[in-house]
A and B are shown apart, each in its own frame.
Chain A
């Protein structure tokens, strides 16, 4: 692997890793909130409000 390709690979890994980490974080936070909300207010979740 040339130096150019190493820099390209590092750049793509950073961007895809960054977006992936943000997506996983958002999904986990979303799931935790939905679970807690379903426990506290099951009717709202059934109505599609979460």
Chain B
């Protein structure tokens, strides 16, 4: 049992008052019972809305949107590649913000959420690289180039993997979370490199076409299904992280209960 879980987890059920500290109101949400009740209500709705949006967005992208005059049918890969890229970067920004909160306020639920976020973030970054590669072969004639954008996204993938491995590498979970948080905050310098690599260097990867200051450089027939897919995958990503965090909170409570039961058994054995 680690310090982080004993600090806020009640022995049997989640009714303990929240700990008051420098974090102020934030610590109201450190109560695992409250988190489980709230997330238990949100999760089915989040999952349902994600599936509904994807049920609209994916057929729109695959069937009803037009083929591109230059790229042909391969343009349909962008409807999954771009959301994965946005999630990889946005998710990492979320990880960095969560890590800062966890370091400053020692918020154990944020620690757990960061721990559960990084494998999902690594998965979407891997999917971003794989779908980009599948798009690159017919369009560029190669699966991979050591282009600034591709290389910086590969570095982002290693940062996600590194965080996932580091937080699990320590027997003391709180120490692992702290090390992971430091890595996440150091790694955040890679985000502007990913974003602006296409402007700073002469890359094979095309420059931004949706998130331009002036206006998106694509027709609405492509832009709208892209935004629908991005919204659907973002909601699915959030639902996945929430479900994993719920499972992790329950697993910590299980460990706390098992440790308490073992201590009671030891005490009975010593008294007999």
Contacts and interface: CB of A to CB of B under 8 A. Distances in A.
Interface of A: 2-5, 7-8, 10-12, 14-15, 18-19, 22-23, 26-27, 29-30, 33-34, 36-37, 40-41, 43-44, 47-50
A22 B74 CA distance: 26
Chain A contact surface mostly? helix
B28 to A, nearest CB: 16
A11 to B, nearest CB: 4
Contact of B36 (A2, A8, A29, A49): A49
B62 A12 contact: yes
A40 B133 CA distance: 48
Contact of B138 (A4, A14, A40, A48): A4
Interface in B67-125: 72-74, 76-77, 80-81, 84, 120, 123-124
Interface of B: 12-15, 32-33, 36-37, 40, 58, 62, 72-74, 76-77, 80-81, 84, 120, 123-124, 126-127, 130-131, 134-135, 137-138, 233, 236, 240, 243-244, 246-247, 250-251, 253-254, 257-258, 261
17 contacts: A3-B138, A4-B74, A4-B138, A7-B137, A10-B134, A14-B127, A14-B134, A18-B126, A19-B233, A23-B236, A26-B243, A33-B254, A47-B33, A48-B40, A49-B13, A49-B14, A49-B32
Contacts of A48: 36-37, 40
B252 to A, nearest CB: 9
Given A14-B130, A48-B37, A43 B12 contact: yes
B134 to A, nearest CB: 5
Contact of B253 (A5, A8, A26, A41): A41
Contact of A18 (B62, B76, B123): B123
A37 to B, nearest CB: 5
